[in-house]
Each structure stands twice: as C-alpha cells, then as structure tokens.
Amino acid sequence: MELNFTIQVWQKGNLFVAKCPELDFISQGKTSDEAKKNLFDVIQIQFEEMDELGTLEEYLAECGFEKRNDSFVPVSEMIGFERLCISLP
C-alpha cells in the first residue's frame, strides 16, 4: 500500500518539529532529519496499531484519503503556500 503526504519542518529553539498536516501527526528531534525520522516512526507505529484494530481505512477516510487500487490518495491536495505579512493596528 502507498500513501503520499506532506511533511512540514519547523525549528523551535534548539529543536526541530516535523508535522504531517494531512494525518495530524507530529514529532520532534535535535535535527531536521531526526524529526522527520521520528515522524515516520510515529506514523508507522500508529498505522500498524490501527491496522490490527481494523480502523486504518476508516482513519484515512476521515483524514481525507480514498482508496484507489492499492493506494490511498488525498481527495484534496496542498499545491503551495505563501508567507504573507499584514500590518497590525
């Protein structure tokens, strides 16, 4: 089974935070790579547990994915983002 998703990485002080917005999972590490690896570990562990419980497909559907052949694809996809600035009163 394949699943495509987005990873956002933020630096907060001395730590890096990796987040998967589509799945609502988050992790951290001392480096960007460590935070991403930890996020993959979290996703894998959670998916294994959900699969054992028989709730994985339901969870993915709630997150906006649908099953097509042997893959789960997002119903909507982020295609970009922008940083904006506004003046505050």
55-68: per-residue pLDDT in tens?
999 999 999 999 88
How many of the other CB atoms lie within 10 Å of CB of 83? 4
Do residues 2 and 8 make contact, with C-beta atoms less than 8 angstroms apart?
no
Q: CB burial class (10 A; 0-12, 13-18, 19+) of residue 46?
A: middle
Q: What is the pLDDT of residue 69?
A: 87
- Residues in Cβ contact with 57 at an 8 Å cutoff, skipping those fewer than 6 apart: 67
Domains and CATH numbers, the chain: 2-74 (3.30.160)
What rounded mean pLDDT belongs to the chain?
Answer: 92
